Amino acid sequence: MNFSIEKNVPLSSLTYFGVGGKADELVRITDIQTLPEIWAETIALKLPHFILGSGSNLVCSDAGFRGRIFIIEAKRTEWKENVVTVETGKNLQQFILEAAGRGFSDITNLAGIPGTVGGAVRGNAGAFGSETKDCLQSVQFCDENGMIRILPARECLFEYRESIFKKNPQWCILRATFRLTNKIERDTAMNNAQKLIQERWQKYPPGKCGGSFFKNPTTVPDGAMPYAGWLLENSGAKGDQIGGAKFSEKHANFLMNAENATQKDVLELARKWHKIVLDTYGVSLEPEVMLIDEYGKRVEI
């Protein structure tokens, strides 16, 4: 069988934050070909559904999830010279190192960002001036009717940490095709990727966390830096704690599950400092991390 269904699975065990109650059903997909049918069935039954991925940027409801959580574990890659098609469940770090092993450095700047290739495409993950969309050619996905469709990258409505797939949660990314053009010496490419992964993880505070909690703002007042971490640090967020949720003392934009945090704790702490930054600098920070209720709907800060 190319998929499995588990009952009453604690979401806290499946996310980087370690927060969330039990999901009614957890569907693991190991073969992309089996997804459209069960995806369409889920929608036809009007069951709430959500794609978990690796759970790197998700804070789930304390009440769990009243429907089906999908985890796609299909992770094959198909290379044709400098064009590669990657299944959505492929770990992003593994893909970056695989590309580097072939001498391609186009996606090296993304090294160290947690998650899957599908999650990187959905959220247009980026770092150091590079974004996932930069070398993306097309995306294959399953729509709300179980039909497989392909969109060229130019039609995916990519913005800073946004895409058409975020705007259409009924769509499920299956594969992404990249055209890589920056070819360098293989050992140099591998060393660059591995060094960046190591440096990035050294900056991360230890503990349960999904990376940067808020997006960097597009505009800030004179005298302020355009970084969420800077705004939070200069507003005094470092080390502040509500319940089990705490802003790291190492990096102000890392909201941690310090001690059995609940989604309620995370929301209260995030909302507190959202308001303080807004009152202090006039900047309304948007979460980069996604918070969902027990039906998969986004919970606003």
CB 163, CB 74: distance < 8 Å: no
In this prediction, residues 197-201 reach a mean pLDDT of: 82
Question: Final residue of a domain: which of 203, 227, 242?
Answer: 203
In this prediction, residues 179-196 reach a mean pLDDT of: 94
User: Do 196 and 84 belong together in one domain?
Assistant: yes
Is 212 a known active-site residue?
yes
Predicted local confidence at residue 80, as pLDDT:
97
User: Do 154 and 64 belong together in one domain?
Assistant: no
Distances in Å between the alpha carbon of 295 and those of 24, 43, 54? 11, 13, 19
If we measure between CA atoms, which residue out of 68, 111, 70 comes closest to residue 91?
A: 111
Share above pLDDT 70 across residues of the chain, in percent, rounded to a whole number: 100
pLDDT of residue 202 exceeding 80, the answer is: no
User: Do 116 and 47 belong together in one domain?
Assistant: no
Q: Which position has the higher pLDDT, 170 or 98?
A: 98
CB 60, CB 263: distance < 8 Å: yes
Q: Within a domain: residue 44?
A: yes
CATH number at residue 136: 3.30.465.10
Question: Final residue of a domain: which of 72, 105, 127?
Answer: 72
CATH number at residue 36: 3.30.43.10
Q: Within a domain: residue 293?
A: no
Q: Within a domain: residue 271?
A: no
Predicted local confidence at residue 179, as pLDDT:
98
User: Do 52 and 133 belong together in one domain?
Assistant: no
Q: Within a domain: residue 272?
A: no
Strand partners, 159: 162
pLDDT of residue 11 exceeding 90, the answer is: yes
User: Do 29 and 82 belong together in one domain?
Assistant: no
Predicted local confidence at residue 268, as pLDDT:
98
Predicted local confidence at residue 211, as pLDDT:
85
Identify residue 60 by its one-letter amino acid code: C
Predicted local confidence at residue 199, as pLDDT:
82
Indicate which residue of 25, 87, 122, 161 is catalytic. 161
Q: Is 83 helix (H, G, I), strand (E, B) or coil?
A: strand
Question: Final residue of a domain: which of 152, 187, 203?
Answer: 203
Taking only the tens place, the pLDDT of each residue in 50-103 is: 999 889 889 999 999 999 999 999 999 999 999 999 999 999 999 999 999 999
Indicate which residue of 12, 61, 212, 248 is catalytic. 212
Q: What are phi and psi of 78, to 5 degrees?
A: -130, 115
Predicted local confidence at residue 113, as pLDDT:
87
Residue 146: partners with Cβ closer than 8 Å, 6 or more residues away? 36, 37, 39, 40, 41, 43
Q: Within a domain: residue 230?
A: no
User: Do 52 and 100 belong together in one domain?
Assistant: no
Q: Within a domain: residue 20?
A: yes
pLDDT of residue 1 exceeding 80, the answer is: no
The confidence band for 248, taking pLDDT boundaries of 50, 70 and 90, is: very high
Q: What is the distance between the alpha carbons of residues 149 and 170, in angstroms, rounded to a whole number?
A: 13
Q: Which two tokens stand for residue 290?
A: 């996604």
Predicted local confidence at residue 7, as pLDDT:
97
Q: Work out how many domains the chain is built from and give that number.
A: 2
Q: Within a domain: residue 240?
A: no
Distances in Å between the alpha carbon of 24 and those of 7, 37, 69? 6, 20, 8
CA angle 223, 226, 232 (to 5 degrees): 90
Domain that holds residue 14: 3-72
User: Do 199 and 151 belong together in one domain?
Assistant: yes
Average pLDDT taken over every residue of the chain? 94
If we measure between CA atoms, which residue out of 200, 152, 193, 150 comes closest to residue 173?
A: 150
Taking only the tens place, the pLDDT of each residue in 216-246 is: 999 999 999 999 999 999 999 999 999 999 9
User: Do 84 and 197 belong together in one domain?
Assistant: yes
Indicate which residue of 25, 87, 131, 288 is catalytic. 288
